[in-house]
Amino acid sequence: DARVTQTPRHKVTEMGQEVTMRCQPILGHNTVFWYRQTMMQGLELLAYFRNRAPLDDSGMPKDRFSAEMPDATLATLKIQPSEPRDSAVYFCASGLGRLAGGLIFGPGTRLTVL
């Protein structure tokens, strides 16, 4: 049963610290999305990659957030420095081709910044 994996599942850190979240998309999927979910804002798109190239990262605060795909099996989302307002659940989702089959979501990383 193919699934998207995310690590860590939970992260508690102090303000100012660097946070790195990792995602392994489903093998063969060529599109990766990063979303952030909060009670107030709902699901927000942070970044979107196709064939490892970033296509849209307009939803991401550029001064502190960065997203990369070092290879086809790994996507990373980094926050440096982290702030309390970054506390949220971060989801990675992958898809194939024209995404007619929808996105398959990972379990999320719950981030708490103190």
**Where on the chain is the footprint of another protein (CB under 8 A)?**
31, 33, 37, 42-43, 45, 48, 50, 56, 89, 91, 93, 98-105, 107-108, 110
Q: Which is nearer to another protein, 76 or 105 (by Cβ)?
A: 105
Closest distance of CB 33 from another protein, Å: 7
CA–CA gap between residue 95 and residue 98 (Å, rounded): 8
CA–CA gap between residue 4 and residue 6 (Å, rounded): 7
Shortest CA distance to 106 belongs to which of 84, 68, 77, 83?
Answer: 77
Closest distance of CB 98 from another protein, Å: 6
